[in-house]
């Protein structure tokens, strides 16, 4: 199979899906006044890609022109139907599928049957999964759609326009790399939020903590700790949710380090994995204790909203730039303990910015060992911060439970760090 051609077809399919999702939502708002939905636009994109591919491979430019003319005629016919109120606008999915299959047959004769069969499977899936696709679009609200489009704007319009060279005397602030890392952290947050939406509303404190930790472990800690004021009997279940959110934070830190600089992960994974493992262990114990004391109560709504916005991304970018600059200055003028103090202070508020700053600095040759220690210090500092939040917002037995678990997490992390 021609992998380049397959990649081009995949990009075309994704473009069709992107526009199709928006049109599908439009159909839900104004039925009968929108041309096509997600399946129609996916098939349109595949038909255009297949006709262009045939035109190039067989040196027959008319193939693309004729396909464009047929699609244009279908669009005009659909518009004509829409101009008559009360008339049912016929769907074009089957017609576009017929055009696409015709073009795939031509690809087979041109000697690329494997690629044609793969695309035919994709077309069959688009046709067969009508209800799941429509159901998926129905679960996407306007805020989610706008957030996704903004992330694409940040990734494919803003990012290519930025210079890929340092702009400061310390050679630390590269606008392209800064924005790339902002896009990365925003994408991870958005994917975590999408996972929550796909799972549906949480039905227990444990699931609330686990899913909430994908967006913000601090927010999950605060929400579940507050719930102990009105649900003191559910302290075990709430503690399990909080500790699961913490374990997600440790996994998130390791993922960010692996994406930016995998060699740094090899130096820092043991303390992070140890702290995450202890968090999971205590969470499972509290979860079982909660089950033994009775059926777990439903978790309170954490009020988590879509975490992505361009203003939030810009604020994170500014914070990230300040942290990155501070880390670079400290590395040059106060090597050693100075870096750890920066990590400890910033880690009280946020682990993402300091983690990615340290990973970026280590990739530029500033040293793996100090960066690995600083990443772990930031994680330890963030754990202390969330323990204080739980103590301040929580009531009853939850305070002691989180205090014991925090001491164990911090102790194991410090031990693993000293051994490393």
Looking at residues 116-145, what average pLDDT do you find? Answer: 84
Of 115-119, 295-299, 416-420, least confident by mean pLDDT is 295-299
Report angle CA 90, 20, 94 to the nearest 5 degrees: 35
Contact 176, 159 (CB under 8 A): yes
Measured CA to CA, the distance from residue 100 to residue 80 in angstroms comes to 24
pLDDT tens per residue across span 344-388: 888 887 788 788 888 887 776 667 888 899 999 999 999 998 999
Most confident of 111-120, 172-181, 198-207: 111-120
pLDDT computed for residue 301 by the predictor: 46
Tell me the HSE value of 299 on the side-chain side, using a 13 A CA sphere: 30
Q: What's phi and psi for 77, nearest 5 deg?
A: -65, -40
How deeply is 139 buried, as exposed, middle or buried, from its count of CB atoms within 10 A (0-12, 13-18, 19+)? exposed
pLDDT tens per residue across span 251-273: 989 998 898 888 889 889 999 99
Above 80 in pLDDT, residue 413? yes
Average pLDDT, the chain: 80
pLDDT computed for residue 219 by the predictor: 72
Of 110-119, 179-188, 329-338, least confident by mean pLDDT is 329-338
Q: Where are the alpha helices (DSSP H) in 293-367?
A: 310-333, 337-347, 352-363
**Count of other CB atoms within 10 angstroms of residue 185:** 22
Looking at residues 53-72, what average pLDDT do you find? Answer: 85
pLDDT computed for residue 129 by the predictor: 87
Cβ-defined contacts of 198-202 (< 8 Å, 24+):
198/139, 202/298, 202/299, 202/302
pLDDT computed for residue 277 by the predictor: 95
DSSP-based three-state secondary structure for 112: coil
Report angle CA 119, 122, 125 to the nearest 5 degrees: 155
- Residue 132 or 215, more confident: 132
Classify the phi-psi angles of 396: left when phi > 0, otherwise alpha if psi is within -120 to 50, otherwise beta: left
Above 50 in pLDDT, residue 91? yes
Looking at residues 385-404, what average pLDDT do you find? Answer: 91
How deeply is 142 buried, as exposed, middle or buried, from its count of CB atoms within 10 A (0-12, 13-18, 19+)? exposed
pLDDT computed for residue 247 by the predictor: 93
Measured CA to CA, the distance from residue 333 to residue 172 in angstroms comes to 14
Looking at residues 90-118, what average pLDDT do you find? Answer: 79
pLDDT tens per residue across span 13-23: 888 888 888 77
Measured CA to CA, the distance from residue 227 to residue 206 in angstroms comes to 13
- Residue 309 or 151, more confident: 151
pTM listed for this prediction? 0.60
Above 70 in pLDDT, residue 391? yes
| pLDDT class of 297 with cuts at 50, 70, 90 | very low
Most confident of 29-43, 176-190, 234-248, 306-320: 234-248
pLDDT tens per residue across span 184-202: 767 766 765 665 566 543 3
pLDDT computed for residue 294 by the predictor: 56
Which residue is listed with tokens 């590269």? 174
Closest by alpha carbon to 172, among 350, 343, 360?
360
Which residue is listed with tokens 């999408």? 194
| CA distance to 75, 142, 381, 416, per residue, from 419 (Å) | 68, 50, 19, 5
Measured CA to CA, the distance from residue 148 to residue 217 in angstroms comes to 22
DSSP-based three-state secondary structure for 93: helix
Above 60 in pLDDT, residue 32? no
| pLDDT class of 5 with cuts at 50, 70, 90 | confident
pLDDT computed for residue 296 by the predictor: 45
């Amino acid at each position: 199979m021609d992998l380049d051609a397959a990649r081009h077809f995949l990009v075309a399919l994704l473009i069709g899906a992107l526009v199709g999702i928006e049109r599908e939502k439009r159909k839900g708002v104004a039925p009968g006044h929108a041309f096509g939905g997600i399946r129609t636009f996916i098939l349109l994109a595949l038909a255009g890609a297949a006709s262009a591919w045939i035109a190039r491979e067989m040196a027959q430019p008319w193939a693309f022109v004729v396909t464009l003319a047929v699609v244009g005629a279908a669009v005009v016919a659909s518009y004509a139907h829409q101009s008559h109120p009360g008339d049912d606008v016929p769907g074009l999915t089957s017609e576009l599928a017929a055009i696409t299959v015709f073009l795939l047959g031509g690809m087979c004769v041109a000697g690329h049957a494997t690629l044609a069969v793969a695309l035919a499977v994709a077309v069959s899936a688009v046709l067969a999964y009508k209800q799941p696709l429509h159901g998926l679009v129905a679960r996407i609200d306007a805020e989610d759609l706008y957030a996704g489009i903004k992330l694409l704007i940040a990734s494919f319009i803003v990012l290519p326009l930025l210079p890929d060279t340092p702009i400061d005397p310390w050679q630390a602030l590269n606008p392209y790399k800064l924005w790339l890392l902002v896009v990365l952290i925003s994408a991870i947050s958005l994917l975590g939020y999408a996972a929550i939406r796909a799972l549906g509303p949480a039905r227990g404190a444990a699931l609330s903590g686990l899913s909430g930790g994908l967006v913000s472990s601090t927010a999950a800690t605060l929400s579940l700790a507050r719930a102990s004021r009105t649900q003191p009997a559910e302290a075990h279940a709430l503690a399990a949710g909080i500790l699961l959110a913490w374990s997600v934070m440790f996994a998130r830190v390791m993922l960010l380090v692996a994406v930016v600089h995998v060699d740094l992960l090899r130096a820092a994974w043991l303390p992070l994995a140890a702290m995450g493992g202890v968090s999971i262990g205590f969470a499972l114990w509290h979860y079982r204790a909660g089950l033994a004391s009775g059926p777990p109560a439903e978790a309170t709504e954490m009020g988590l909203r879509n975490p992505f916005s361009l203003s939030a991304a810009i604020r994170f970018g500014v914070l990230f730039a300040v942290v990155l600059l501070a880390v670079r200055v400290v590395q040059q003028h106060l090597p050693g303990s100075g870096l750890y103090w920066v990590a400890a202070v910033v880690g009280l508020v946020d682990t993402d910015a300091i983690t990615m700053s340290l990973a970026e600095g280590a990739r530029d040759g500033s040293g793996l060992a100090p960066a690995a220690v600083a990443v772990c210090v930031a994680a330890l500092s963030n754990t202390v911060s969330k323990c204080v939040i739980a103590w301040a917002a929580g009531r009853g037995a939850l305070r002691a439970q989180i205090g014991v678990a925090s001491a164990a997490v911090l102790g194991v992390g410090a031990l693993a760090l000293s051994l490393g």
